[in-house]
Structure 1
Amino acid sequence: MMDTDRELQPGVMPAAPYAARPPSPPAIMIPAPNFLKGNQPIVCTPSYANVDPFFLSATDLQIITRNRPQEAHDSVSDWAYEDRRTAQPILDFLYLGPSSVARDRQFLQDHGITMLLAARDSRLAQARIMGVDRVAKELGIRAEYVDVENNQGLIRSFPDTVRKINNHMLDVYRSQAVQTYDGDHRMQDGEIAINPNPEQFRRGRVLIFCETGNDRSAGVVIAYLMSVYGMDMIQACQFIQYRRFCVGLDEDLKYLLMTYEGILNAQKAVHRQQLLNPPTTGSPAATQSAGLGSASPHTAKTKRGIEDTMDTDDQDDMGGIENGYALDRDRYTDRPAFVPFVDVPDRTKT
C-alpha cells in the first residue's frame, strides 16, 4: 500500500487505500477435486473427439496413448519430502522430475526412458548447464531441449514441444516394424506390423525435467495433457498434482496455460469446420491450406478488424461520440459512483 497522506494538500484525504503498482488479475485457484467417494481417482481417457484433427490422426493417437485411460490417485497421504528428488510417472509413458534424475543412469535404465526433454532457462543453455547429451549418448537415448527466456517464450514453445514428444513416440513404435508376408502377398505400402511379443517390444518413454521438476517442466506436461488428452487447464493441474504433489505453478504460468487452452479450443473449432466444409480448389483458403502462398489482400481478408464489428455511421447518446470510441463504456455500466478523494472537515471551526 502507498501512504499518500503526506503528499496531499491539507484538508484532503483518499477515499480508499490504493497502490502505485499496475492492477493485477485475480489469482487462479486450483480447487481440490471434490468426490463423493474417498480417494476416487481422476481419469483421463484419450479420445479423437478431443484432439485437433490437423494435429494428430486417429491412428497416431492410438499408437501414442494405446487408447488406455490414465488414472491419478491422491498421493498426499503417501507423499514424502524426499519424493520431490525423484521422478513420477504422470502418464504410463511420460515422467516428470528434477534435473538430477536425468543424470541418474540407473533410474533411466530401470524405467526404460528413451528420450530426455529439458525445459530450461536460455541462460543455463548458454552456460551449458543441465546438459544431458553425455548421458543420452552413453545410454543410446535421445536428448531434446526447450530453451526459453521466460514464460512468454514457454507458451510459444508448447506446440513444437508437444510435437517432439509425439514424433518420438511414433518413431520408437515404427522403428520396431517388421515386414510380414501373407503367402505371396507383401503388406501394402504404409502398413506396418509390430511384433506382438511384449518381451521384445519396447515402447517409448519420455522424461521431462527442469531444475526442480515443479514449475517450467510441469507447465510443459500440463500443455501436453491439454493438447493430446483434451483436458482443460484446471483438470490437467489437478491430475498432475495427484501424481507429483510438490508441483507449484506461479500465477503467470497459470494464466499462460489458460490462454493456451483457449488457443487449442479455437484451433480445434476452426480445423473441424474446415474438414466439414473444405475450401474449393483455387480459393484463397485452399491456397493457404495447401501452403502455396498467401491470399492477395485485394481478394480476401484473413482476419476481421475491430472496425468491421461496429457501425460507425450511427451516433450514440454520449454527446455525439461514435460507437468506435465508446466500446469501453460497458465495463462501467452499473458501477457505483466513486470519488477518489474527499475533504476532511475542519474541526477547528466547530
Structure 2
Amino acid sequence: MAASSNYGGDRMTPYVQSFPYSDKRLFEPPRVQIPPPALDYQHGRPTFRVSSTSFGQMSGIYGDPTFLRALTACYNLNMRHTMLSWQYEMRRTAQAIVPFLFLGPSSAAKDPEFVKRTGITLLVAVRNTTSVRTRPAFLDPALFPSSEGISTLTFDFDSPYDFIPNLRPIVRAMNDHLAATCIRTPPKDVSDIKGKILVFCESGNDRSTVLVAAYLMATFGISAVSAIHIIQSQRFSITTSDEMKNVLLDWQEIVKAERQVAAGQQQASSFVLPQRPVKRNIDHVYDNDDAGLDSQQSGNLEVREGVAPFADVAG
C-alpha cells in the first residue's frame, strides 16, 4: 500500500509522485496554435480565400517592385483545400503551392522525369548548416542529374535565429528568377511567368515549408497563419515546430513594418511642401537699401531739393 503524502496543505492524500517535478516547459518556446481555415464547401469541395495586399515597396530588397506589384495584382490566393483527397503516398512527391512555386522532398528534386514534366526551372535546397559542414555535398542541387540546364540555389541555416538574417537575399533571388522568365514585362497574368521553382529539404515537410511560408508573406503581405494555411491546403503533410512558428511571427511583424514605412514614404512624397525663402546675405541687404534710397530721391527731386547743413557766410 502506498504511503500517504501531504500535497494539499492539511489534507492527506494516498498518492506519491512517480517522477520528480520538472520545469523544462519554462525553457521551451511559447506554443503557437494554428486555427483551421474558414472553409467554404462549394460543390462538395473545400475552398478558402486569403486576402493579399499589393506590393507597395519601392526598394528592390525582394526583387523588382514593378514585377512584384504586377504579380500580386494578377494572382488571387483562392485556394482549393486537398484534405479530402490527400493520400499518404503524396508526401513523397512535390505539390504546387501556387502555380509557380512547388514544395516537396529531396527525392522529387532528384527525379529528372518529375523536374522535366513539371517544368521546374530553379531548384532551391533548404539545408542544415551543421550537415553541410560535415558533408559539403549534402543536398547540393547542382550535383543532381535533374539539375542539368536549370538554375540552383541553396539556403542554409542551423538555428531558428539564423533564419531571418539570411532570408531577404534568397527571396530576392527567387523573384528575380521568376521575373527573368516572363514572356512580357510586367506580367498581365500568372501564365506569363514561365519559370517554376521547387523548394525542397529532406522530407519536404519542415525546413523547406518555413522558407515557402516566408516567401509568401514577403511577396503577398499575408500573415504567418495564412501562409501556413495556404501551404497545408496543397501539402497536407507539413509539420512546423513551435520555434519556427515563432520565427514566422517575428518575420510577419518585420514585413508589416516595412510595408507601413513604404506606405508612409509614398504618402509623404505626394505632398508638395511650400518653398522656403532663401535667406538674404549682407551684401543683398545693403544693395536693396541703397536702391530704395535712390528711387526715393529720384521720385521727389522736383518737390524737395533739400537744405545744406551749413551755409557759406562769404557768399
Q: Given the two structures, how large is their TM-score scaled by the length of structure 2?
A: 0.69
Which residues in structure 2 correspond to 1:159-198 (within 5 Å)? Answer: 159-173=168-182
The residue aligned with 1:41 is 47
Task: Select the structure of larger CA radius of gyration.
Answer: 2
For 1:270 and 1:162, how far apart are their aligned partners in 2? 20
Which residues in structure 2 correspond to 1:25-36 (within 5 Å)? Answer: 25-35=29-39
How many angstroms does 1:162 deviate by? 1.1
For 2:164 and 2:258, how far apart are their aligned partners in 1? 15
Which residues in structure 2 correspond to 1:1-350 (within 5 Å)? Answer: 19-21=22-24, 22-35=26-39, 37=41, 39-44=45-50, 47-48=53-54, 51-55=56-60, 59-62=66-69, 64=71, 67-126=74-133, 127=135, 128-135=137-144, 139-173=148-182, 203-278=194-269
For 2:255 and 2:248, how far apart are their aligned partners in 1? 10
In 2, are the aligned partners of 1:45 and 1:70 still within 8 Å (CA)? yes
For 2:58 and 2:99, how far apart are their aligned partners in 1? 23
CA-to-aligned-CA distance 1:5-24 (integer Å, 9 cap, x gap): 9xxxxxxxxxxx96343444
Count of aligned residue pairs for this structure pair: 244
CA-to-aligned-CA distance 1:292-313 (integer Å, 9 cap, x gap): xxxxxxxxxxxxxxxxxxxxxx
User: Aligned in 2, Cα 1:64/1:105: closer, same or farther, shift over 3 Å?
Assistant: farther
Comparing 25-34 and 221-230, the one that deviates more: 25-34
In 2, are the aligned partners of 1:136 and 1:142 still within 8 Å (CA)? no
Query: For structure 2, which runs of at least 5 residues remain unmatched after alignment?
Result: 6-19, 270-315
How many angstroms does 1:266 deviate by? 1.0
Partner secondary structure for residue 144 of structure 1: strand
For 2:70 and 2:121, how far apart are their aligned partners in 1? 16
Q: Given the two structures, how large is their TM-score scaled by the length of structure 1?
A: 0.62
How many angstroms does 1:84 deviate by? 0.5
For 1:62 and 1:106, how far apart are their aligned partners in 2? 34
For 1:202 and 1:233, how far apart are their aligned partners in 2? 25
How many angstroms does 1:63 deviate by? 5.2
In 2, are the aligned partners of 1:51 and 1:227 still within 8 Å (CA)? no
Comparing 80-89 and 28-37, the one that deviates more: 28-37
Partner secondary structure for residue 226 of structure 2: helix
User: Aligned in 2, Cα 1:57/1:165: closer, same or farther, shift over 3 Å?
Assistant: closer
For 2:145 and 2:230, how far apart are their aligned partners in 1? 29
How many angstroms does 1:231 deviate by? 1.1
Letter in 2 for 1:75: T
For 1:143 and 1:66, how far apart are their aligned partners in 2? 28
User: Aligned in 2, Cα 1:275/1:28: closer, same or farther, shift over 3 Å?
Assistant: same
User: Aligned in 2, Cα 1:270/1:100: closer, same or farther, shift over 3 Å?
Assistant: same
Say what the alpha-carbon RMSD is for the aligned residues.
3.0
For 2:130 and 2:64, how far apart are their aligned partners in 1? 37
For 1:149 and 1:51, how far apart are their aligned partners in 2? 32
User: Aligned in 2, Cα 1:149/1:242: closer, same or farther, shift over 3 Å?
Assistant: same
For 1:259 and 1:138, how far apart are their aligned partners in 2? 34
In 1, are the aligned partners of 2:142 and 2:152 still within 8 Å (CA)? yes
For 1:138 and 1:88, how far apart are their aligned partners in 2? 18
How many angstroms does 1:142 deviate by? 0.2
How many angstroms does 1:99 deviate by? 0.7
For 2:116 and 2:142, how far apart are their aligned partners in 1? 16
Letter in 2 for 1:265: K
Normalized per residue, the structure richer in helix is 2
User: Aligned in 2, Cα 1:99/1:25: closer, same or farther, shift over 3 Å?
Assistant: closer
Query: For structure 1, which runs of at least 5 residues remain unmatched after alignment?
Result: 6-16, 178-191, 279-350
The residue aligned with 1:305 is none
CA-to-aligned-CA distance 1:232-279 (integer Å, 9 cap, x gap): 01111111101100001000000000010011111111222123225x
Identity %: 29
In 1, are the aligned partners of 2:94 and 2:105 still within 8 Å (CA)? yes
CA-to-aligned-CA distance 1:298-343 (integer Å, 9 cap, x gap): xxxxxxxxxxxxxxxxxxxxxxxxxxxxxxxxxxxxxxxxxxxxxx
Comparing 75-84 and 58-67, the one that deviates more: 58-67
In 2, are the aligned partners of 1:46 and 1:68 still within 8 Å (CA)? no
In 2, are the aligned partners of 1:64 and 1:170 still within 8 Å (CA)? no
For 1:224 and 1:109, how far apart are their aligned partners in 2? 24
In 2, are the aligned partners of 1:33 and 1:238 still within 8 Å (CA)? yes
For 1:137 and 1:164, how far apart are their aligned partners in 2? 20
In 1, are the aligned partners of 2:112 and 2:145 still within 8 Å (CA)? no
User: Aligned in 2, Cα 1:111/1:62: closer, same or farther, shift over 3 Å?
Assistant: farther
